[in-house]
Structures are given as structure tokens and as C-alpha cells.
Amino acid sequence: MSLRRRTYLAEKKYEATFYKSLYDRNKGIFYRGTAKSGKGIGMGALGQGVYLTWHKGMAKAFAQHHGQGGTVIAYKIKPGLKILDSKSKLMIDLKAEMGFDPWGYSDDPVYAKFITSQVGKAGYDGVISDNLAEGIVIFDAKNATPWRKI
């Protein structure tokens, strides 16, 4: 087996472990802080979709960012999703293709559409970051169901 193939397989194993451990610990429940209208801040750092975090406090901070009427909603993420790590080689390569450093991104909707399209074509259902503020994005809203208000 080539070194490149082994590195890719090790990366895949890490991605699955990181997301799976969060998923198992939270029993599939993640949080979203939104405005009264239900909208987030619309940054798109990890692509387009439903942005969630595994930390209630971070979701509460986002809800408070929206002022009066902001709310925290718990979401149940569908089991078995394939989630890409934001620091994976694929993400780094996609960002480089758009002229960004590995840690960079744009709030331009074209950036988010490109990331979503390419990561989706690679077979992933979303992207996760170890940064609580970036959290996790689930591309298809059908895979992240609002469960209850917190």
C-alpha cells in the first residue's frame, strides 16, 4: 500500500472518530442559536446548510448575538452521516483551488456553494470543525431535524 493511500485512510479514520465521538456523546443532539426568524448569521465557512454546535453555550451566544427573540434549538442529526473534517486534505485542497490558505474562508455565497458542491460530490453529508464557533454544517436540512427549543 502506498504512503499516500495509507495517509488518506488514516485521515478517513480520524474524521470518522472525531464526529462519531461527538455524535455518540451527545446522542445525536446538536444545537443552533438563531434569530427570531430562525436564520443564522449566514457566514458559510464550512459550506451551505444547517450550522450546529455540540456546545449549548456557543449556541446561546449566537442566539444572543441576534438580540431580542434569539433562541436556541436542539437538533437531532440523522445517524450514519458521512462528515468531513475541516482540516482534511480535501478541504485544504479545495480552499487552495479558490486561493485561500488552509485556515481561510470567505463569507461570499459563491465560496460556500463551491465547498458544498465539491464536498458533496466526494460523498460527504457535511463538514465539521474543532472550532466551536464554526461547529458543524449539515448540507441537507432533512438530515438535521429541529427537536426542541432550549
Q: What is the mean pLDDT of residues 18-40?
A: 83
**Is 2 a residue whose pLDDT tops 50?**
no
> Are 53 and 84 within 8 A, CB to CB?
no
Residue 147 in grid coordinates: 427537536
**Domain containing 28 — which CATH number?**
3.90.228
pLDDT at 17: 75
SS3 content of the chain, % helix, strand, coil (to 5): 40, 20, 40
pTM greater than 0.85: no
Answer whether residue 40 shows pLDDT above 50: yes
The dihedral formed by the CA atoms of 75, 125, 120 and 126, expressed in degrees to the nearest 10: 60
* pLDDT tens for each residue of 103-140: 888 888 899 999 999 999 999 999 999 888 889 999 99
Cβ(39)–Cβ(104) below 8 Å: no
Q: Give the chain's domain count.
A: 1
Contact 136, 46 (CB under 8 A): yes
Q: How many helices (H) and strands (E) does the chain have?
A: 4, 7
Provide the domain limits for residue 82: 3-149
| pLDDT value at residue 13 | 53
Coil/strand/helix, residue 27 = coil
Query: Which residues are within 8 A (CB) of 70 and not within 5 positions of it... i.e. 6 or more apart?
Result: 33, 34, 35, 36, 62, 63, 64
Tell which phi-psi region holds residue 37, choosing left (phi > 0), alpha (psi between -120 and 50) or beta: alpha
Give me the sign of the Cα torsion angle 24, 131, 66, 138: negative
